[in-house]
């Protein structure tokens, strides 16, 4: 299998031993059908301020229910889509859907900034900036309600090109975050050079909080560094009160995780949003009384 072009051009830089080529090709084929048959959905996970308890945004996460396979987790199909190149089409679909949903919420009076995961290959497309601009225009969404989550690998690939592209996106007015921060291996210099607004602490570091001394040290360091650089810092994968309290104490701005909610379908997200708003108000009223 050496073809580089065509409908499913698998490239194997790093042949994966866990899933064999044939099942990867089958999965890729099924994904292409799934996009046509509208089997993909976007779910939204609330992002909450550690200071006020208010909702500050939502991360859009793709979901796929295949008629035969059942729910296929993104960790299974996204790597295959990245390998075959189909991630570009999926990513474009996700971008459109997320922007459409944020715009629909805005029309209903809900201001929900939406964060979208962007794969390296998608980001490298020369049309990427134009696609973002087009989606914003098509749905008339204020650019500040869209955040792009990029991983360190995106920035590493071709740093100069990435910088240009990010500057163009920044001029559009969209926000950018570094996802899974701390898991890649890149120089910290890019934090200064790239026009980003937010760091997302990877959940592998949140897991051991507050007891694990290494995790606590790493998280503390990321938060202090982020604050010093004027970046918002959000922790992902927060599951317990103890984790949340630790993060609040060390000055982390925001969190997302099962403690608040998993990624939810639109209707359930709206219901949770209302609860979060009510809780934040009650908390603020209580604080005002004691103040």
Q: Which is nearer to Mg ion, 82 or 236 (CB)?
A: 236
Six-digit token string for 215: 């995790």
Binding mask 18-57 for ligand C2E (x = CB under 6 A): ---------------------------x------------
Binding residue (CB under 6 A) for ligand C2E from 30, 55, 56, 62: 62
- The smaller minimum CB distance to ligand C2E, of residues 242 and 286, is found at 242
Give the whole-angstrom CA distance, residue 40 versus residue 47.
22
Alpha carbon distance 196, 190 (integer Å): 9
Site residue total, ligand C2E (CB under 6 A):
23
Between 103 and 244, whose beta carbon lies closer to ligand C2E?
244
**CB under 5 to 8 A by kind: which of ligand C2E, Mg ion, none does 12 bind?**
none
Give the nearest distance from C-beta 116 to Mg ion in angstroms: 8
Cα–Cα distance list, 40 to 1, 28, 58, 77 (Å): 28, 14, 18, 12
CB 179, min distance to Mg ion, A: 4
Q: Which is nearer to Mg ion, 37 or 212 (CB)?
A: 212
Residue 109 CB, nearest approach to ligand C2E (Å): 26
Residue selected from 5, 14, 36, 75 as contacting ligand C2E according to rule CB under 6 A: 75
* Residue 263 touches ligand C2E, criterion: CB under 6 A: yes
Q: Which residue has the tokens 């204020």?
A: 142
**Residues in touch with ligand C2E (CB under 6 A):** 45, 61-62, 73-75, 78, 91, 94, 117, 119, 179-180, 203, 236-239, 256-258, 262-263
């Amino acid at each position: 299998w050496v073809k580089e072009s065509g409908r499913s051009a698998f490239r194997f830089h790093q042949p994966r031993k866990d899933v064999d080529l044939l099942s990867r090709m089958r999965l890729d084929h099924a994904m292409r059908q799934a996009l046509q048959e509208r089997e993909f959905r976007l779910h939204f996970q609330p992002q909450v301020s550690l200071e006020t308890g208010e909702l500050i945004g939502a991360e859009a996460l793709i979901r796929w229910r295949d008629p035969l396979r059942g729910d296929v987790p993104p960790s299974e199909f996204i790597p295959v889509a990245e390998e075959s190149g189909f991630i570009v089409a999926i990513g474009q679909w996700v971008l459109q859907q997320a922007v459409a949903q944020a715009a629909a919420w805005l029309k209903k009076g809900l201001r929900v900034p939406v964060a979208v995961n962007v794969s390296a290959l998608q980001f490298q497309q020369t049309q990427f900036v134009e696609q973002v601009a087009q989606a914003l225009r098509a749905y008339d969404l204020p650019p500040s309600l869209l955040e792009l989550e990029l991983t360190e690998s995106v920035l590493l690939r071709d740093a100069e090109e990435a910088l240009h592209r990010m500057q163009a996106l920044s001029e559009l007015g969209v926000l950018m975050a570094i996802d899974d921060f701390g898991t890649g291996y890149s120089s910290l210099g890019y934090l200064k050079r790239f026009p980003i607004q937010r760091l997302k602490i990877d959940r592998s570091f949140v897991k051991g909080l507050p007891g694990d001394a290494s995790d606590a040290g790493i998280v503390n360091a990321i938060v202090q560094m982020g604050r010093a650089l004027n970046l918002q810092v959000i922790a992902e994968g927060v599951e317990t009160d103890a984790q949340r309290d630790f993060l609040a104490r060390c000055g982390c701005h925001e969190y997302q995780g099962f403690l608040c909610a998993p990624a939810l379908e639109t209707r359930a997200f709206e219901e949770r949003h209302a609860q979060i708003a009510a809780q934040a108000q009650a908390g603020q009223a209580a604080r005002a009384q004691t103040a």
